[in-house]
Amino acid sequence: MTEPTGLSSEQSAPPGCPAHAGGGAPSGAVRLGGLEYQQTPSQLYRSLRREHGAVAPVLLDGDVPAWLVLGYSEVSYVTGHDELFARDSRRWNQWENIPADWPLMPFVGYQPSVLFTEGAEHQRRAGVITEALEGVDQFELARDSARIADRLIASFAGSGQAELMDAYAHALPMIAAVQMCGMPDASTDTQQLVDDLRISLDAHEGDDPVAAYTRVGERIQRLVKEKREKPGADITSRMLRHPAGLTDEEIVQDLISVIAAAQQPTANWICNTLRLMLTDERFALNVSGGRLSVGEALNEVLWLDTPTQNFIGRWAVRDTQLGGRQIRAGDCLVLGLAAANTDPQIWPESHVGPENSAHLSFSHGEHRCPYPAPLLADVIARTAVETLLERLPDLVLAVEPHELTWRPSIWMRGLASLPVQFTPVAH
């Protein structure tokens, strides 16, 4: 195989590797990761497609085997057939090879939340979330998001420079999400929860993510108790009121899932869009031309630089076939959402215009990002980008475009930092 730079072919794969488990399976499972991969994953996808077709044998951290599903129709098929490819990770045939401190444990370790439920139980839990999200007034959300944006911008506007990932893109959707769940606007308590969520989802050096996650759980438990006593017009109260009768424990789990699912993808959607607009001359950065361009940039990012570039995953319910591969019961499949969006089988017919939202960035099928979450994410992201460009109209990158680097993650596509400069504004 022609190896993409920064990747290695693993000829002596661990026992049980789907890539080597009989049935004429191919050799040459590819380790996902490496610096080159993080900067230009599209090269890897091209190379994997050439070598393996739509379903490629890969090795995750610690050389744990899995399948990467790269084809648009194969990802649609996997996500559309949960009777064959299901979400409960306890099915995995690799658990005996997984150490307790495996880096991907937060994504695959079973939790009793909506994320890992299946069938009727999933419909019950996801139905409650959908109805609770449907109650969010999108105009109010836009107003709240603009207010949060203004507050964050005010904290750096006077200095003429900022690092937008930390100071803006990550903070904004987190604050918007906890407020939609009923936390009071701008209180110390809300700030503490936002800080703890940030640490548990994205720990920096010196942070204690386990302690932070414990505090998040305690605060959400308290929120549920408070809303039981004094309901309001928020997601938590609507979940409590729902006739499906979820227990407080189930609601706590699902609220944490909603907040976590909202934060990272929306933050990276904002920052990848800002990056596109700041580096590509097709997107004029002025107020008059700005509005239309923001919608186009947001949509283009979902096609070409989607935040949830790979999603783990699904587990095969029984032996089956996919893309000409023999899949064993309990095999893990990683949804290659970014690869599927750029599948040559759907290009050039698919095009990236504002009209076309047939990408798989919100996944597909039973477990897809639940309606109307993508619409709410769009309101938050659009408001974040528009407000920033309106308040700081001469915003430019503070480094050369090629100096921007992507974070070392094969799962979430987002920048390590986004330094900008602008004319200081007094607030």
Residues that bind ligand HEM (CB under 6 A): 79, 114-115, 126, 129, 257-258, 261-262, 265-266, 269, 302, 306-308, 311, 361-363, 367-370, 373, 376-377
Decide if 19 contacts 28 (C-beta within 8 A).
yes
Decide if 69 contacts 295 (C-beta within 8 A).
no
Residue with smaller CB distance to ligand HEM, 4 or 323: 323
The one-letter code for the residue type at 201 is L
Least distance CB 365 / ligand HEM (angstroms)? 7
Least distance CB 51 / ligand HEM (angstroms)? 26
Give me the helices (H) in 157-234, please: 164, 171-180, 188-201, 209-229
Least distance CB 3 / ligand HEM (angstroms)? 28
Residue with smaller CB distance to ligand HEM, 47 or 341: 341
Residue with smaller CB distance to ligand HEM, 107 or 347: 107
Residue whose structure tokens are 């031309």: 289
Residue with smaller CB distance to ligand HEM, 156 or 315: 315
Residue with smaller CB distance to ligand HEM, 156 or 213: 213
- The DSSP symbol for 169 reads I
Least distance CB 353 / ligand HEM (angstroms)? 18
In angstroms, rounded to a whole number, what is the distance separating the alpha carbons of residues 384 and 267? 10
Least distance CB 266 / ligand HEM (angstroms)? 4
Decide if 66 contacts 331 (C-beta within 8 A).
yes
Q: 116: helix, coil or strand?
A: helix
Least distance CB 34 / ligand HEM (angstroms)? 23
For the stretch 151-154, contacts whose Cβ atoms lie closer than 8 Å and that sit 24 or more positions apart, written own/partner, are 151/186, 153/387, 153/388, 153/391, 153/392, 154/427
Residue with smaller CB distance to ligand HEM, 47 or 266: 266
Least distance CB 203 / ligand HEM (angstroms)? 21
DSSP 401-420: GGG--B-S-SSB--BS--EE
Residue with smaller CB distance to ligand HEM, 20 or 227: 227
Closest C-alpha to 241, from 226, 223, 227, 222: 227
Residue with smaller CB distance to ligand HEM, 78 or 392: 78
In angstroms, rounded to a whole number, what is the distance separating the alpha carbons of residues 262 and 378? 11
Decide if 318 contacts 56 (C-beta within 8 A).
no
Residue with smaller CB distance to ligand HEM, 272 or 293: 272
Least distance CB 5 / ligand HEM (angstroms)? 28
Residue with smaller CB distance to ligand HEM, 231 or 374: 374
Pairing of strands 85-86, 161-163: unpaired
In angstroms, rounded to a whole number, what is the distance separating the alpha carbons of residues 338 and 7? 18
In angstroms, rounded to a whole number, what is the distance separating the alpha carbons of residues 389 and 87? 40
DSSP 24-67: T--S-EEE---HHHHH-HHHHHHHHHHHHTTEEEEEEGGGEEEE
Least distance CB 307 / ligand HEM (angstroms)? 5
